[in-house]
Amino acid sequence: MMAHWQNALRTFAERLNMAGLPYKVVGSAALALHGVPVSVQDVDVETDEGTVYRIQRLFSEHMLAPVQLLATAEYRSHFGRLSLQGVTFEVMGDLHRGENGIWVPTYTRTITHVHLDGVIVPTSWPEEEVLAYIRRGRLDRAALCLPYCQQERLVALIRGIVRPGVL
């Protein structure tokens, strides 16, 4: 039996897939889809600037916060929030992080696909999510995820054979 957030994600992914929109589920939802025992409070979705506004149009009746360019000291993106079946989705387009006074693109570059009750959901590799947790100093969360990582993929990211976008 799927969790409530998974049912909402299935509906979300089905609509985006049918519309042919590029996106990727990241963060705790991506990790949970890969079997990591984490709590999913919301679903984080990465995409490009143009697509995030197309997602807003596709889910216009579900928007909690319209997509707009938002910036904090740490992050900048075209960000919006929607609710689908009671689950909050945070959609981010063209995500950057502040580093030494400049904006640096920070998005996952890896992609894999998870089948969720017949619907394909693109996600980041859990190994790249681990590196993102390490960069942010969340070592407890990174340690929780390590047993679910493929050693070859993690080593390839660390050695730069596969270039991560989160570092």
Which of 19, 4, 7 minimizes the C-alpha distance to 59? 19
Q: Give 56-110 as a DSSP string.
A: HHHTGGGEEEEEEEEE-SSEEEEEEEEEETTEEEEEEEEEEEEETTEEEE-----
Tell me: the pLDDT tens digits for 28-47? 999 999 999 999 999 999 99
Question: What are the pLDDT digits (tens) for 67-125?
Answer: 999 999 899 999 999 999 999 999 999 999 998 889 999 999 999 999 999 999 999 99
User: Do the beta carbons of residue 122 and residue 113 sit within 8 Å?
Assistant: yes
**What span, in angstroms and rounded, lies between the C-alpha atoms of 119 and 6?**
11
C-alpha closest to that of 33 among 153, 142, 126, 144: 126
Q: What is the pTM of this model?
A: 0.94
CATH number, span 4-125: 3.30.460.40
